Structure 1
Amino acid sequence: MTTGASTGTAALPPLEKSGPHRRRLGLVSIVACFGGLLFGYDTGVVNGSEGPMAADLGLSLLQLGVFVGLLPFGAAAGALLCGRLSDAIGRRRAIILLAVLFFGGVLLVVFAPGGDGEFSLVGYAMALAGRLVLGLAVGGASTVVPVYLAELAPYEIRGSITGRNELAIVSGQLAAFVVNALIATVFGTEGHVWRFMFAMCAIPAIALFVGMLRMPESPRWLVEHGRREDALAVLRTIRTVPRAEAELEQIDVVAEEESRGRVGLGALLRNKWLVRIVAVGFGLSMIQSLTGISTVMFFGTRVLEESGMTPGQAVLANISFGVVAVIGGVVAVRNMDRVNRRTTFLLGLALTTSCHLLISLAAVVFPEGNPARPFVILVLVVAFVLAMQTFLNVAVWVWLAEIFPLHMRGLGMGIAAVGGWLVQGVLAILMPTLLASIGLVGAFLMFAVIGVASLLYVWRLVPETRGRTLEALEEDVTTGAIHAIGRVRRARARR
């Protein structure tokens, strides 16, 4: 790879702080983030609807767990397939396809036949098919939307722009919790009420489809596919003309180097440093899910019922998880371009692991029947969600969106995301049974042990990415220099 100022940051004109270009970039990010909103709603809607659905369709705990867990498994496939697809057909077209999948999956779930407590194999199979399609869409959104935003954003504010997608995700989860609570309050928790909860997802799916029809393609993808003039036209809508031309020159350097060799999977397998960074990303994605955040977002009402709340109290209290998730997301986006990614990861893991230990301790100190037990555990779980959203969720997806080289960015992001989705799928299937068998103490103690190991993983293996252009990062990732930079910085920190 070419080194030096050609892909550095020194040659770029200053970024304008306001004006029509920044407003245009803001509009593009808002529309694209409807994908994140759908991601959040579809992962959160089951939290509060799973009980009424199981009762209406006559599902056992295992059958319910399979339904809930099928989305993460579908998301693992969707992340890998859509990441590769976005490299081939473009980020914009891939997101439009995702909108169609979101809408189709909702229809399958909502119109699944059966109900009134009688199990229907056809209805269950149709609901599973819809859940699988939604999983494909969620996984695709988790991969393509952050990459699209990262490739459109200037490096100075790439963290906050890309982080908006995670803020949209938690906003979607909050919306699902609030809608579920409102519907349950007005219509109760029996019968077909769960269908109305799922049906609301169709609205943002339509908005995403219509909105993306008017949005531009990623300029970096356009350059990679030989459409340089189109890329410049896009950049001029979201940058000043001097800045757009300077960024295009940097992109040209990398694209020219890539055109001389293999790209995509072939380039990945032939370069040990690319294999290493994908493996690190795979592990980081797993770590994010192994904190147990999906347990709270999928089964928050069940966790609160296990602590001693009634079903009605649990549905209402569950909204607090969504509220603090949004608050944490806002804080994270504001700090994303101010605090190093590694620092954020380490602080977040230290806080979430401490919360796990405190939840386990509280479940022992306040035995079942103690009136303070559910409220103490509620406060601690809220603290866990706040720490998770403030320091881990946003930062992890931003890091994954910027660490991989252009020619395999969608593929690398997809492979890495598979790790997290597989973990979430296993936890979703097992958690109803685990909570019933080992209780809160065992479940959160397990997460605490994993948290300690995760801290060591991040400290030793995860490199820093903040404050550098995607092209400069690509040089260091491809040559392995990024790992040497990390070792030097850790050595300085020990002095």
Structure 2
Amino acid sequence: MSKEQYLTLNQASGPNSSSRTEPFVKVIACIATLGGLLFGYDTGVISGALLFMGPELHLTSFTMGLVTSSLLFGAAFGALLSGHFAATVGRKRIILVLAVIFAVGALGTALAPDVQWMVFFRLLLGVAVGGASASVPIYIAEIAPANRRGQLVTMQELMIVSGQLLAYISNAGFNAIWGGADTWRWMLAVATLPAVLLWFGMLFMPDTPRWYAMKGRLAEARKVLERTRAKDDVEWELTEIEETLQDDEVHGKPRLRELKKPWLFKLFLIGLGVAVIQQTSGVNTIMYYAPTMLTSVGMSDNAALVATIANGAISVLMTFVGIWMLGRIGRRPMVMIGQFGCTCCLLFIGCICYFMPEASNGQPDMLRAYLILLGMLMFLSFQQGALSPVTWLLLSEIFPTRMRGIFMGGAVFAMWIANFLISLSFPLLLASVGLAGAFFTFTLIGLCGAVFVVRCIPETRNRSLEQVEHYLHGWLSEGGASPKKGLAGRKAETH
């Protein structure tokens, strides 16, 4: 394809198309992101359940951290495995299998008789959570039209925070209605319903056109494009997919040994960095331990559970803001806003804890408690309004098509391992250096993450996945545009 033909097509369709999103695409995104809803519910529900399962399961500071973080450890391996099998059996089939694991894990945790079984089923549930976190963004990114990919992939983040909000409301509701010793079991069992809906819904969804094309099933790829694209966009995108896959044929099946190529190794490291900085902000210590932290500074159990709903509500609200911003500014500015904003909020919480110590008479200082809550809400505004949505989007965009499943699995594996280590160590960190020391530690880590963001985050907005691949190959092979200019500063590539 000549440069002139490419530019003519690119003005009429593809990334710069003004075509509306086909209704079927929205249906696919809604069904697939039930995986995100389960991800959010299963990670958020533990924050309230910990307050009630402790006496029955005889939890200590260590086993409390183990129950919380075991899901995250399982999620790391779920992401790794799903990334590998997504290229072999397809994105759709992986999500179907994950739906079954979600249901079994939810029922298992609800019925767990002791801490050992609880940890086992939390590990199993983690496999599903990690698999969904790696598979669903890829599935949506590959099935969404380029001009709507940002908003549709970010639906995953919206569903994650909606699941967390649902978990917080469920926790407070069950406590208000029953409030008995077995309340936590009902909190955990609720996740079975969306798991069943995910499995049933995905039975009727197609796989992605890129996966069909990768398997040589071009007729099926065309059928999916015809159902999910405007008429003028079908030929343009199918041609681009075919040309990219033809270039990849000489390399054979994707293998990890391809990391020996300098540009792929650099790209994989950038992906790892993007994944890990989201967790090193400490977001999930707030999402998992907010009630524990708030009760430690004087709030009652019920007040802490109700206050945690505000965390979920602000997360959902700010995710809508993030979706709106992604349609107007680039990925790189979004990451910078999120990273610097989160780090400043962590410093604020640390200063409140340090300069406003507990009252000497042993009475709770409610002003201190509510200022800490305010700090959490400000933190979540930057995290969920900027950093988290663009993290999942970048991870679904930056990896080349043939390596996307493997690289995405590896990056999300690193994300969950970081999440696991932070969540496991947080109760111990809290016990050793206190709330102020814990948040000052996260502030220091956040500053290191800010250096990475400024130096390494590329811009991928307003390009198809194939164009992103060509740009990053050029940039990372030396002689490409700097990440500051990103794709917007380059001319359209010739094919």
State whether structure 2 residue 117 is matched by structure 1 residue 130: no
Instruction: Report the equivalent of 2:165.
Output: 174
Structure 2 length-normalised TM: 0.93
Q: Answer yes or no: is 1:426 the counterpart of 2:417.
A: no
1:166-187 residue CA offsets vs partner (Å, 9 max, x unmatched): 0000000000000000001111
The DSSP-based 3-state class of the residue aligned with 2:276 is helix
- Greater shift in the superposed pair: 84-93 or 366-375: 366-375
Asked if residue 355 in structure 1 is aligned to residue 336 in structure 2, the reply is no
Distance of 2:7 and 2:82 partners within structure 1 = 30
Q: Which moves more between the two structures, 94-103 or 301-310?
A: 301-310
Does structure 2 retain, via aligned residues, the 8 Å contact 1:174–1:326? Answer: yes
**How big is the shift at 1:64?**
1.6
Q: For 1:305 and 1:9, how far apart are their aligned partners in 2?
A: 61
Shift of 1:269: 2.2
Following the alignment from structure 2 to structure 1, what is the Cα–Cα distance between the partners of residues 401 and 279? 26
Q: Does 1:451 align with 2:446?
A: yes
How far residue 487 of structure 1 moved from its aligned partner, in angstroms, is 5.0
Rounded Cα–Cα distance in structure 1 between residues aligned with 2:461 and 2:129: 26
- Moved runs in structure 1, 4+ residues, more than 3 A? 2-18, 478-483
How far did residue 48 of structure 1 move?
0.6
Select 2:481's aligned residue among 464, 480, 485.
485
How high is the sequence identity, in percent, across the aligned residues? 35
Q: 1:312 aligns with which of 296, 302, 317?
A: 302
> Where does residue 327 of structure 2 map in the other structure?
337
Q: Deviations over 1:184-226 (max 9, x none)?
A: 11111x4111110000000100000000000111001100110
Moved more, 7-16 or 133-142: 7-16
**RMSD after superposition:** 2.0
Say if 1:79 and 1:415, in contact at 8 Å, map to a contact too: yes
Q: Does 1:292 align with 2:288?
A: no
Once the 2 structures are TM-superposed, how far is the Cα of residue 437 of structure 1 from its aligned partner? 2.3
Tell me how far 1:478 sits from its aligned partner.
3.3
Q: 2:493 matched to which residue of 1?
A: none
Task: Identify if the C-alpha distance between structure 1 residues 5 and 191 changes in structure 2 by more than 3 Å, giving closer, same or farther.
Answer: farther
CA distance in 1, matches of 2:477, 2:51: 48
CA 1:17–1:8 in 2, change beyond 3 Å: closer, same or farther? Answer: closer
**1:163 Cα offset (Å):** 0.4
Pick closer, same or farther for the CA change 1:254–1:12 going to 2, 3 Å: farther
Return the alpha-carbon distance in structure 1 between the equivalents of residues 4 and 424 of structure 2.
Answer: 50
Residue 211 of structure 2 is aligned to residue 215 of structure 1: no
The equivalent position to 2:143 in structure 1, one of 141, 149, 152, is: 152
CA drift of 1:456 comes to: 0.8
Using the TM superposition, name which of 410-419 and 390-399 deviates more.
Answer: 410-419
Secondary structure in 2 matching 1:421: helix
1:474 aligns with 2:472: no
User: Contact between 1:306 and 1:440, CA under 8 Å: does it hold in 2?
Assistant: no
In the alignment, which residue of structure 2 is the partner of 1:258?
248
What is residue 396 of structure 1 aligned with on the other side? 391
2:39 is aligned to: 39
Distance 2:236 2:69 in 1: 46
Give a deviation string over 1:239-285, Cα, whole Å, max 9, x none. Answer: 12331122101100001111121342256324211111111111121
Q: CA, structure 1 residues 97+187, in 2 after alignment: closer, same or farther (shift >3 Å)?
A: same
Q: How many residues align?
A: 479
In structure 1, give the amino acid aligned to 2:147. E
Instruction: Quote the offset at 1:37 in angstroms.
Output: 0.3
My pick for the range that moved more, 268-277 or 138-147, is: 268-277
SS in structure 2 of the partner of residue 148 of structure 1? helix
In the alignment, what sits opposite 2:362?
none
Secondary structure class of the residue paired with 2:485: helix
User: Is the CA contact (8 Å cut-off) linking 2:459 and 2:484 kept in structure 1?
Assistant: no
Please give the residue correspondences for 1:238-277 in structure 2 after superposition, counting only pairs within 5 Å. Answer: 238-266=228-256, 268-277=258-267
The residue type equivalent to 1:423 in the other structure is A
Q: Which amino acid letter does the alignment assign opposite residue 364 of structure 1?
A: Y
Query: What SS does the aligned partner of 2:366 have?
Result: coil
Tell me by how many angstroms 1:306 deviates: 2.3
Letter of the aligned partner of 1:485 in structure 2? A
| In structure 1, distance between residues paired with 2:464 and 2:6 | 8
Report which stretch shifted further, 258-267 or 344-353.
258-267
Matched ranges for 1:65-84 at <5 A: 65-84=65-84
Label 1:388 to 1:5 Cα distance change in 2 as closer, same or farther (>3 A).
farther
**Is the CA contact 1:341–1:399 (under 8 Å) kept in the aligned structure 2?**
yes
**Does the C-alpha gap of structure 1 residues 394 and 379 become closer, same or farther in structure 2, counting only changes over 3 Å?**
same
Taking structure 1 as the reference length, the TM-score comes to 0.93
Amino acid at match of 2:174: I
Cα distance in 2 between the residues matched to 1:199 and 1:166: 23
1:366 matches 2:356: yes
Partners of 2:93 and 2:378 in 1: how far apart? 39
Give the conservation status (yes or no) of the 8 Å contact 2:475–2:482: no
Counterpart code for 1:66: L
Q: Is the 8 A contact 1:434 1:443 kept in 2?
A: yes
Task: List alignment gaps of at least 5 residues for structure 2.
Answer: 360-364, 490-495
Kept in 2, the 8 Å contact 1:7–1:250? The answer is no
Q: 1:71 to 1:12 in 2, by over 3 A?
A: farther
Q: How does 1:406-421 map to 2 (within 5 A)?
A: 406-421=401-416
Task: Tell me the distance in 1 between the aligned counterparts of 2:92 and 2:196.
Answer: 15
Partner Cα separation in structure 2 for residue 246 and residue 132 of structure 1: 44
Give unpaired runs (5+ residues) of structure 1: 114-122
User: d(CA) in 2 for partners of 1:5 and 1:150?
Assistant: 27
Residue 216 of structure 2: SS of its match in structure 1?
coil
Q: Secondary structure at the match of 2:251?
A: coil
- 2-side partners of 1:207 and 1:402: how far apart? 28
2:36 alignment partner AA = G
Q: Tell me if structure 2 keeps the 8 A contact 1:222–1:230.
A: yes
